[in-house]
Amino acid sequence: MEVKNLEPNALWNHFADLNAVPRPSKKEERVIQFMVDFGNSLGLETITDRIGNVIIKKAATQGMENRQTIVMQSHIDMVHQKNADTVFDFDTQGIEMVVDGDWVRAKGTTLGADNGIGVAAIMAVLASKDIAHPAIEALFTIDEETGMTGAMEVDPKNITGTILLNLDTEDDDELSIGCAGGIDTNTTMDVEMEDIPADFVGYEISLRGLLGGHSGMDIHLGRANANKLMNRLLVHLMCLVDIRLAFLDGGSLRNAIPRESSAKVAISKDEKATFLQAYADFTAILKDEYQLIETEMNWSISENNTLTKAVKHFDFEKIVNAIYAVPNGVFRMSPAISTLVEASTSLAKVTVNEGKFTTQSLQRSSVESTKADVANAVRAAFESVGVAVVQNGEYPGWQPNPSSPIVSLMADLYRKMYKEEPQIKACHAGLECGILGKQFPGMDMISFGPNIRGAHSPDECVQISSVQKFWGYLLETLKQIPLK
């Protein structure tokens, strides 16, 4: 079955049309134009603000004119990741989708259900002629995945709504009422290079097949970080043989747990047997540690005799010491909500290439003071060995308000429709609600969505039956929006 034949048909058709448009973060020109053309084709007031957010306004349907104006909001950019063996150009190709039982997936790439399903749902409401709803201000923000600059720069004069429905949550029984804030830590250090001795042999070591995932929502699951594992291996080998580092590349996106890493090294031919045995023994140990989680962990090694330069030993030591010292994973659990990660950090990207050592990491917390604490811990690990640190891209969290009117309304509606309790919780991801709450003080906010798994990784998928549930819940919510 093709995606466009799924139900609800209008939503899936808009999702397929959206996924045909390349839309990486910070390269949203095409999808911005796509949304503008969509709004204009419906004859609706369509605005593009200075930063590139698109606002489409639709009047209330008959009989709903006295209800509060709602802001329906989703982001139009997506995380672009693919498997190492997948040939795909995100800048020119649309996402290739497949129906797999009750799930929709992509062929070796991220799917874009985060946040494309939310965008498609809003498009379906805007295009409808028979869905009852109050006045709508549809806010499609840019660059959520790499800095939330769209939400930060939204022009308040274009928004008058008093209730925000953010359609960017990944469990269909969950009503999100709070989220983590974040800050990026980027580091650089010049490293000295030297000639690799003539009697040395080169090798390329690769780690593939880790689960990866969202560095907020999945950080508590104990998944392996490819950068940390590769560093452990290098440190182990350094203790046993004279090893030189020529190249290192691990991870890809600042907000994804790194799934892959590659290192190019050189060792003396006299130590080849010791090196290979140490490599085999230690990678077996790492596989054993993660055997219950990372079932597809794959280490490989091959000779590479094209290497000519390597990092000098004292800089090599600085690199591995910094990576070892930097915290990674859960930093603190919330004392108020036992299942909620309060603060975390993820070492997302590490490179050593052409005389430069660089890293990218993202620190998150729902509490501003512990966000500063974990960010300072990361800074200290790098600065202690002379690595330059820049921290930027900071955005606030969203303080939960369990007694908000829209939360109460939607919780009661969920119980009525599904005969079960909704999960009312805060999440450890960075939702735009925290930023928009500061932009629009007093706006009542909630976030919800269908079941999405593996977001920010090529394993990303969205559940078809859950989209149907989400759609029905959204339509009933629109009917129940309170009076002005």
Q: Which residues are catalytically annotated?
A: 77, 144
Amino acid sitting at position 308 = T
Distances (CA, A) of 19 to 105, 424, 432: 12, 30, 22
What is 407-442 written as a DSSP string?
Answer: HHHHHHHHHHHHSS--EEEE-SS--THHHHHHHSTT
Closest of 9, 20, 37, 32 to residue 124, by C-alpha: 9
- In sequence order, the 6+-apart residues with CB closer than 8 A to the CB of 280 are none
Length of the chain: 484
Q: Where are the beta strands (DSSP E) in 277-328?
A: 298-303, 309-311
- Dihedral angle computed from the Cα positions of residues 206, 207, 208 and 211, in that order, rounded to the nearest 10 degrees: -160
Q: Whole-angstrom Cα distance, residue 82 to residue 100?
A: 18
Beta carbons within 8 Å of 358's beta carbon, 6+ residues apart: 186, 187, 188, 189, 349, 350, 351
In the DSSP assignment, the letter for residue 69 is P
Contact between 160 and 442 under an 8 Å Cβ cutoff? The reply is: no
> What is the three-class DSSP state of 123?
helix
How far apart, in whole angstroms, are the C-alpha atoms of residue 42 and residue 38? 7
Contacts 24+ apart (CB under 8 A), 401-407: 401/177, 402/177, 404/177, 404/444, 404/445, 404/446, 405/444, 405/482, 406/163, 406/165, 406/444, 406/445, 406/446, 407/175, 407/177, 407/446
Distance (Å, rounded) from C-alpha 3 to C-alpha 15?
9
Please tell me the distance from the alpha carbon of residue 192 to that of residue 309, in angstroms, as a whole number.
10
